[in-house]
Structure 1
Amino acid sequence: MRINILIASSQIKTNYKQMKKINILAIGFLAYLAIDGPAYAQKKPVATKKPAATTAKKTNGTLIPNDPNVKIGKLANGLTYYIRKNSEPKNRAELYLATRIGSLMEEDNQQGLAHFTEHMAFNGTKDFPKNEMINYLQKAGVRFGADLNAYTGFDQTVYQLPIPTDSAELFKTGFKILANWAGKVIMEGDEIDKERGVIIEEDRQRGKNAQERISKQLLPLLLKGSRYENRLPIGKIDILQSFTHDKIKSFYKDWYRPNLQSVIAVGDFDVNEVEQLIKANFSDLTNPASPRPRLKYDLPDNKEPLVKIITDPEQPYNVAMMMYKQRGSTATSTTADYKKQLMYSMINSMIGARFQEILQKGTAPFLFAQSTYGPYQGGLVSGINAFQTVVAAKSGAELEKSFTAALAENERISKFGFVQSEVDVTKKNILAGNEKQFKEKDKTPSSSFVQQYLNNFLTGSSIPSIDFKYAETQKAVASITLQEINALAKTLITRENQIIVVQAPEKDKATLPTEAQLVIALKNASNGVTAYVDNSVNKPLLETKPVAGKIVSETKIAAIGVTELTLSNGIKVLLKPTDFKNDQIIFSSFSKGGLSLAADADYESAQMVSIIPESGVGAFNPTQLNKLLAGNTGRAGAYVSDLYQGFSGSASPKDLETAFQMVYAYATNPRKDTEIFNKNISDYKVILENKDANPSSVFADTVQAVLSSYHKRGMPIKAADLNNVSLDKAYAFYKDRFADASEQTFVIVGAFDVTTIKPFIETYLASLPAAAKKQNYADNGVRPPNGKISKTVYKGLEDKAAVELYIHGDYIFNAENNIQLDALKAALEIKILERLREKESGVYSPQVGLSVEKYPNAHYYFNISFSCATANVDKLVAAALDEISKIKTNGATADDISKFKSEEQRQHELSLRNNNYWLSYLTNRLQNGDSLDQLLTDKQRLDAISVESTKASAQKYLTEDNYIRLVLMPQKK
């Protein structure tokens, strides 16, 4: 359970049209497994036992050398430091303070204070009283939450500070901030008391739901007899409300000490200068005269299976999980460790592919299934791994069958192993990824190195260089045999240390299998299993190469480094070559129409059009397509959105032709797969029939319905709607949308040469079918309601409310208005956080969103959202509206405007070196009919923002003429 703090300023975009997008295949059952984090806690050390299962023959290998490009040192007081010069991104550095302490170190009367201490590090230190640290960093363009952040786990607390290096003063201050966190937090009494409510609201926001109630029953089973069970990082509410100040001060004094701390600095700087900054800021920190020992904790073994069946009224799905616990370090320190981890990765990939293959069949015995080997419950307990299977069934009555079928796949692998073709596919994919990483080695972001160094400090994992990893991966993959893989696969299933867990809706309680039936299913899962048979299709992606078209015109847009091509079939292509990545090309396209052109009678079927490209292409279903493309980075797909249809894809330069071939295939030879389509619709019906058990789902449906004025095309899909869905209609709609490509516009960005890419464009894009029809999207009249709307939904069992406030209206969509709206949103975000969290202590992470759209009509939406105690809803809504009123009266403060401008400027600097930014920027400009060089005048528009301009904007756009208040409250008793 990772405790993340300071996420309040994340930029949430809320758009009622986006809310009704459906990802049919991403069911998300894992979100309902209740245990959602990396650690839990114990009572006393437990003696370890040897794993029950036999293991593959062990070879020691050789020690992996640390990357010579990282400077590792230790101060006299025991503090460890890692320093690396890295220029991606330029003029930026990642600064981290890692501490090997967490909730496991708490006394019984300190439960929750490790996490509370992390909060207090942002509420006043010796050199940065109160909120001065946050204010200082925001004025320098460091984003609160997105950049400045921290987390607390069971045995670690980590603070992160990405910071610019082009200001010497700011960069030096970054190390002072880290040192203040490390040993100079003040812990003022009034600040402690103010923070109590924030942390209690964090607990409410993350919990007070089915997952939390289920986890409280699961923890005694999953962490039985260990300290982890009683040391959740969030702590106990009664302690958080009542602990005396000396308890948290004592925790900080005992555990925040340099011999348990590390400073990590990676970025565009001078290594020797950074080393001196670390020595100057951290050398005076001292350890206690009699330091408390940092104990290690363990989990006990269990000979017989542990079984738990848990039901809850708000649990939407019938889910079973099987865990085979194993002892073993997760640290990688030798070449043998490295090879073994590669083999586990290959096994996970091959198991995943097998389950995906089953899930595509109409006869699939489960809604969802997955098996993986890795750290136990995502890393809950150090030194414990597990082979874990999760399966979701359509109903309680079918859960035993689904559970048995999933376990049978595990047994099939244990009994018969994999086949050589599966291993070959996985090897090709690993080698392709290894090649790509190696080619990008000089463009590796600093954040990637930070994680390596964190792992070294916290777990002892080695720090191999990119060159070493490349060579060792090539060597290991070449040496791995089918026999080695299958020998390791046989160790996954253990006959001891087994745990079975069922989570199910209360309404299905009577139909669930009993604990005894689940144990019998486990014992009998191997009965009747036979060896796997590969179903690869041995034919090319395209049977014949298309007849190429021509580039008929070429225009240079020198100001932004773009070349525009017009093709003989009418398609336009914008090319933006970059050097931001060495091995990345990305592209997307669009033309007008999309779902808006579906007839009302066919709309339900048209909404399912995404299943067509997700079913594969031509002769290849998704599994066969993945096998065909093994080792090839070229990928592309088709999409149909509300207003557009088009393609998107990516590739390494060497595989770009494959990506273009896929575009051609999806346009001209889509796959009509009855089995996959029907399986998706059947599964989706189950999801829709069960989702109303979840209060958040019910509330989201209400928000969507209200924001679309209950228009048919804006309403959430219901299970009954799926009865009207036809594969023939969905397929026909897809074919119609891609029958004429003449108005498609492609944007291609990345590591390519304009001359070299042109033959691919002529062959695969200029050859796309074109009828030269003039098309547009239809305005079907989906609009948010005018006037003041208030609606309360009563759903849920606990004291938890969710609030969504919207202020919206029509406006003139242009760059000048949009930047003023952005500034207004940023200022409001700061004030809502200060008022609702810091002053009222009534919320954890209030969010302020802004969404703007030009088509089908220009409209803006401001959204304020938060969760809180039910008794505080009216008070906090009034406080939020009061902050809006203040901005309308006075405008944004000069300080807040300064913070916004600094953040915008800093993010702009990073964006200009990012391929995804350019792809999005050029696409948006084209769709909205804006000038492509609009960004060249961004600074002038940014400079035009002032106190007066924000005041005028607030008075114009934050009116309550169109105001929507939506609240989720627990059901009335």
Structure 2
Amino acid sequence: MIKRIGFALLGIAVCIAAGSPVSAQKRTVQPKQSAPVIAGKPIPNDPDVKTGKLPNGLTYYIRKNTEPKKRAELYLANRIGSLMENDDQQGLAHFTEHMAFNGTRDFPKNDIINYLQKAGVRFGADLNAYTGFDQTVYQLPIPTDSTEVFKTGFKILSNWAGRMTMDGEEIDRERGVIIEEDRQRGKNSQERISKQLLPVLLKDSRYATRIPIGKVDLLRTFTHDKIKNFYADWYRPDLQAVIAVGDFDVNEVEKLIIANFSDLKNPVKEKERIKYTLPDNKEPLVKIITDPEQQYNVAFAIYKHPASVTKTTADLRKNLMYNMINTMIAARFQEILQKGNAPFLFAQSTYEPFQGGMVAGMNAFQTVVAAKSGKDLETAITAAVAETERVAKYGFVQSELDVTKRNAEAGNEKKLREKDKTASSAFVQQYLGNFLTGSPMGSIDFSYAEMKRNLASITLAQVNALAKTLITPNNQILLIQAPEKEKANLPTPAALLAAFNNAGKNITPYIDDAVNKPLLAQIPTAGKVTAEKKFEDIGVTEWTLSNGIKVLLKPTDFKNDQIIFSSFGKGGTSLADRNDYQSADFSGIIPQSGVGDFNPSQLNKLLAGNTGRAGSYIDELYQGFTGSSSPKDMETAFKMVYAYATNPRKDTEIYNKNISDFKVSLENKDADPASVFADTVQAVLSSYNKRNMPTTMADLDKLSLDKAFAFYKDRFADLGEQNFVFVGNFDLATIKPLVETYIASLPALNKKQDFADIGANPPKGIVSKTVYKGLEDKASVQLYLHGDYDFTAGNNVQLEAVKSALENKILERLREKESGVYSPSVGLNVGKYPNAHYFFTISFSCATANVEKLIAAALDEVKNIKTNGATADDISKFKSEEHRQMELSLRNNGYWLGYLSNRLKYGDDLNLVLTSKQRVDAVSVESSKATARKYLDENNYIRLVLMPKK
């Protein structure tokens, strides 16, 4: 795959566009200031990572780490990407990455994928790769408890590094796959805007002409020698690194690297690897872009900054201050966004790597703002930029910095406490950064001590001095992206410049609105644990409380500093009045409004430095609570549960802002083909049930905050049938008084509650619907095979086996054989309530001309499995993957939280997990055939297709 270019902000799809310079108006800019220069010392490398270099120049990083146990992360990093391509090779760096999975010296054709799947490594989810402008990275998580498989992992890396076969037939077959990757990820408004954006945003640089996906015409026609030459020139040891982190012997791994990579050779005539960057621009670059399918009016103000690699303790200190600035500006925007009269839909300012780090040596201070309409955009821009000008002119206040420091301190302490439970993947990313960019490899202990020292010594004056340097008089880029229908309402380039230039006028200092009150006015009267039951085989204790609530507790040592919990009780929005359900469906606005006397931003300030968090929810069938905490802050999470249950907040301003924003999104929703198609899918799958139809303007007109608040209070008035599950690093004696004080005291009326069936069931029989929306040659296909279902653990596993086999066959047929898709997917969804039902889903995107052919091919594979069952190979892969994933799951708090909650919801035996291996082992070719015949029911078949406008 390729590293993507673009942004997604709170559901607003955003990409950036720039154009030719225009005349700059005079702008008042703060005199450029520099933050105080503090001498730093070099950051020492972590002594627990072993590094080295082979005689041929290949670098290696090796570290022993036992999280997760019996696993290793193996990476092959290459300091090459699309920037190294010749004009006639554009797209071939990425193409080369694809060819790594299509045949090497020791693994012909797809043997690498087949071998690893049989070892329990999943293609895509585990085994993967990506290509960027100046890097290509291959990742291989692999088990270490099989010596043969583990050793083979290094052979696979070395085959990628220098032993790809580049078979001509395989190259030609892969052309269609990559073209379909371009179609799947693009052929939309974002791509069209990007084509106007990138040549100018990256103006006068190599980046502008080396977008990693390349040129489709060239991908179709290049001769085989072009990609073979690219591979021979650039896949060479002096530009490569092997990274190995995991549960293994370091010295043995070093021997494996030496044995597998020492014979790789560099070219006789090595091509120079040139470093590229972006030129400065003295005058602002201004560009206004519209597109028929763009949904929102969005503006950007970007200030480019040269960046250097973090090398010293002074660099660490400066980076921390930048992070503090980002955090404090974000908090200010949150305060504005929760007001009913907020001048924008969304706003954000951050100092970060330019365009997500795609350009080496370049950072940017960027403000992005979304407005309700083109007419409002100038006001929104002015308001958003005014906030950054407020920071530049007046700085932050001490209370803001104190909050930020307390949160940073909490995160720093948590990282240290989790030191021995750090995932191998985290270390890999650190070493990957060191090889690719030269970033540091400091130890956790060193990083902890430096941050602790810096948090104690950084002053408000120092942070404010650094903040003043973010807005610069040059290297400015000003952009607008908007719906085409708004074209006449948008500001002109001159007006846009004027809005930015005048944004700082008449601003006043920031005033903190923190509330100095306790979260709870008084501690509730405690209840009692009245009964206890042990499930020794799975380490679970069940408590029954005096108010009727049931609590399951599973203490673990999987994480040192994590406790997570959730609860549920039957009911949810299914119990709303059939003629007045809209307000109930919108009752989620209540917990989003804060709690008690605290709006969301005030609550964040109150809880600064405290990791205890909890919230409430209402979905269609259940209502309850979720939360997490470090052991030391657990009481705060419990207090929040009690507060959300007994003292919810009704905030008219937040409600009005949400309704106003929702209306804007609905007004522009029909412009986006994917949104229109998603609405159609939702409507068809619910048989056009009015309770499950997409929200409309008419629905919003029926909403009432008072009714939403009343429904919320009703759902949490009787919590006697709640079921809580706690998982993590706690002991029963410590958590018991908290449970008795804050959970056993929750209100209970001793009523029997249940959810209702709202009748939103999928249609029976054969249904076909095609939506015609969009401008590009791109189709999206979703096929559903579904039906009623006997929901049991055994049946669920058999369905999963069929799904896994069908996924393999669909991938082989549609991608490898037909070369018609990039990443087809097969999904399985099974549910027990309100009616047990299952869905198999086959989905893919493709060229419009190939829709019928590929649907027929997909259904042909369905028929093959019904006739013959899954192959023995597919069954073997399924079993290996399931067993390997279960090994990881059993040491994961999140898995146990979900598992125990579901057993309670479904009325299952809590010990069901103990027999999971037997259920997986019971899968066979014959059982898969019987399951496929029963459940791949073509009599209940829904075909949904999105096609471009006729």
Tell me whether the two structures share a fold, i.e. TM-score over 0.5. Answer: yes
Instruction: Tell me the amino acid that sits aligned with residue 472 of structure 2.
Output: T
SS of corresponding position for 1:809? strand
The correspondence of residues 319-718 of structure 1 with structure 2, limited to 5 A, is 319-329=298-308, 331-718=309-696
Pairwise CA distance, 1:290:
1.2
Structure 1 runs not aligned, ≥5 long? 5-24, 37-50
1:745 maps to 2:745? no
Number of the residue aligned with 2:287: 308
Tell whether the 8 Å contact from 1:34 to 1:212 is kept in structure 2 after alignment.
no
- In the TM superposition, what whole-angstrom CA distance separates every residue of 1:205-256 from its partner, at most 9, and x where no partner exists? 0000000000000112210111100100000001100000000000000000
Pairwise CA distance, 1:2:
3.8
Among 27, 49, 59, the alignment partner of 2:10 is: 27
Question: Distance between the aligned counterparts of 2:348 and 2:579, measured in 1?
Answer: 38
Pairwise CA distance, 1:65:
0.2
Question: Distance between the aligned counterparts of 1:121 and 1:35, measured in 2?
Answer: 34
Query: Are residues 803 and 52 of structure 1, via their aligned partners in 2, closer, same or farther at CA, if it must alter by over 3 Å?
Result: farther
Pairwise CA distance, 1:34:
5.3
Pairwise CA distance, 1:54:
4.1
RMSD: 1.3
Question: Distance between the aligned counterparts of 2:3 and 2:406, measured in 1?
Answer: 38
Instruction: Tell me the amino acid that sits aligned with residue 283 of structure 1.
Output: S
Pairwise CA distance, 1:53:
4.6
Moved more, 152-161 or 597-606: 597-606
SS of corresponding position for 2:581? helix
Number of the residue aligned with 1:22: none
Question: Distance between the aligned counterparts of 1:176 and 1:360, measured in 2?
Answer: 55
Pairwise CA distance, 1:55:
2.9
Quick one: percent identity of the two aligned structures?
Answer: 73
Question: Distance between the aligned counterparts of 2:474 and 2:767, measured in 1?
Answer: 59
Question: Distance between the aligned counterparts of 1:918 and 1:660, measured in 2?
Answer: 20
Query: Are residues 2 and 529 of structure 1, via their aligned partners in 2, closer, same or farther at CA, if it must alter by over 3 Å?
Result: farther
Instruction: Tell me the amino acid that sits aligned with residue 673 of structure 2.
Output: P
TM-score of the two chains, using structure 1 as the length reference: 0.95
Question: Distance between the aligned counterparts of 2:151 and 2:53, measured in 1?
Answer: 20
Instruction: Tell me the amino acid that sits aligned with residue 572 of structure 1.
Output: K
Number of the residue aligned with 2:27: none
- In the TM superposition, what whole-angstrom CA distance separates every residue of 1:174-209 from its partner, at most 9, and x where no partner exists? 000000000000000000000000000000000000
Among 270, 274, 278, the alignment partner of 2:257 is: 278
Number of the residue aligned with 2:51: 72
Tell whether the 8 Å contact from 1:102 to 1:152 is kept in structure 2 after alignment.
yes
Number of the residue aligned with 1:889: 867
Instruction: Tell me the amino acid that sits aligned with residue 262 of structure 1.
Output: A
SS of corresponding position for 1:785? coil
- In the TM superposition, what whole-angstrom CA distance separates every residue of 1:679-720 from its partner, at most 9, and x where no partner exists? 111111111111110000000000000000000111111122
Structure 2 runs not aligned, ≥5 long? 19-29
Question: Distance between the aligned counterparts of 2:142 and 2:352, measured in 1?
Answer: 33
Question: Distance between the aligned counterparts of 1:481 and 1:859, measured in 2?
Answer: 60
Query: Are residues 719 and 33 of structure 1, via their aligned partners in 2, closer, same or farther at CA, if it must alter by over 3 Å?
Result: farther
Pairwise CA distance, 1:948:
0.5
- In the TM superposition, what whole-angstrom CA distance separates every residue of 1:588-617 from its partner, at most 9, and x where no partner exists? 000000010001222111111111001000
Count residues in correspondence. 937
Question: Distance between the aligned counterparts of 1:454 and 1:429, measured in 2?
Answer: 28
Number of the residue aligned with 1:21: none
Number of the residue aligned with 1:47: none
Among 762, 778, 791, the alignment partner of 1:784 is: 762
Tell whether the 8 Å contact from 1:387 to 1:492 is kept in structure 2 after alignment.
yes
Number of the residue aligned with 2:274: 295
Pairwise CA distance, 1:33:
1.8
Question: Distance between the aligned counterparts of 1:686 and 1:147, measured in 2?
Answer: 39
Question: Distance between the aligned counterparts of 2:17 and 2:258, measured in 1?
Answer: 40
- In the TM superposition, what whole-angstrom CA distance separates every residue of 1:493-530 from its partner, at most 9, and x where no partner exists? 00100001100000000000000001011111110011
Number of the residue aligned with 2:820: 842
The correspondence of residues 915-954 of structure 1 with structure 2, limited to 5 A, is 915-954=893-932
Instruction: Tell me the amino acid that sits aligned with residue 28 of structure 1.
Output: G
The correspondence of residues 82-93 of structure 1 with structure 2, limited to 5 A, is 82-93=61-72
Number of the residue aligned with 1:833: 811
1:166 maps to 2:148? no
The correspondence of residues 9-20 of structure 1 with structure 2, limited to 5 A, is none
Question: Distance between the aligned counterparts of 2:399 and 2:203, measured in 1?
Answer: 42
Pairwise CA distance, 1:3:
3.8
Moved more, 685-694 or 113-122: 685-694
Tell whether the 8 Å contact from 2:142 to 2:150 is kept in structure 1 after alignment.
yes
Number of the residue aligned with 2:242: 263
Pairwise CA distance, 1:35:
7.8
Question: Distance between the aligned counterparts of 1:594 and 1:218, measured in 2?
Answer: 46
The correspondence of residues 805-816 of structure 1 with structure 2, limited to 5 A, is 805-816=783-794
Number of the residue aligned with 2:208: 229
Question: Distance between the aligned counterparts of 1:75 and 1:54, measured in 2?
Answer: 46
1:132 maps to 2:111? yes
Pairwise CA distance, 1:52:
10
Question: Distance between the aligned counterparts of 2:551 and 2:666, measured in 1?
Answer: 40
Question: Distance between the aligned counterparts of 1:466 and 1:404, measured in 2?
Answer: 42
Number of the residue aligned with 1:861: 839
Number of the residue aligned with 1:198: 177
Question: Distance between the aligned counterparts of 1:654 and 1:617, measured in 2?
Answer: 22
1:901 maps to 2:879? yes
- In the TM superposition, what whole-angstrom CA distance separates every residue of 1:722-760 from its partner, at most 9, and x where no partner exists? 011000000000000000010000000000001110000
Tell whether the 8 Å contact from 1:84 to 1:265 is kept in structure 2 after alignment.
yes
- In the TM superposition, what whole-angstrom CA distance separates every residue of 1:766-795 from its partner, at most 9, and x where no partner exists? 000110000000111110000000000000
1:156 maps to 2:135? yes
Instruction: Tell me the amino acid that sits aligned with residue 10 of structure 2.
Output: I
Number of the residue aligned with 1:55: 34
Tell whether the 8 Å contact from 2:557 to 2:729 is kept in structure 1 after alignment.
yes
- In the TM superposition, what whole-angstrom CA distance separates every residue of 1:545-568 from its partner, at most 9, and x where no partner exists? 000001100111111100000000
SS of corresponding position for 2:809? helix
Question: Distance between the aligned counterparts of 2:487 and 2:578, measured in 1?
Answer: 40
Number of the residue aligned with 2:23: none
Instruction: Tell me the amino acid that sits aligned with residue 965 of structure 1.
Output: R
1:254 maps to 2:233? yes
Tell whether the 8 Å contact from 1:53 to 1:496 is kept in structure 2 after alignment.
no
Question: Distance between the aligned counterparts of 2:54 and 2:636, measured in 1?
Answer: 53
1:144 maps to 2:123? yes
Tell whether the 8 Å contact from 1:32 to 1:315 is kept in structure 2 after alignment.
no
Query: Are residues 399 and 83 of structure 1, via their aligned partners in 2, closer, same or farther at CA, if it must alter by over 3 Å?
Result: same
SS of corresponding position for 1:228? helix
Question: Distance between the aligned counterparts of 2:31 and 2:927, measured in 1?
Answer: 70
SS of corresponding position for 1:806? strand
Instruction: Tell me the amino acid that sits aligned with residue 804 of structure 1.
Output: Q
Question: Distance between the aligned counterparts of 1:449 and 1:715, measured in 2?
Answer: 46
Pairwise CA distance, 1:58:
2.5
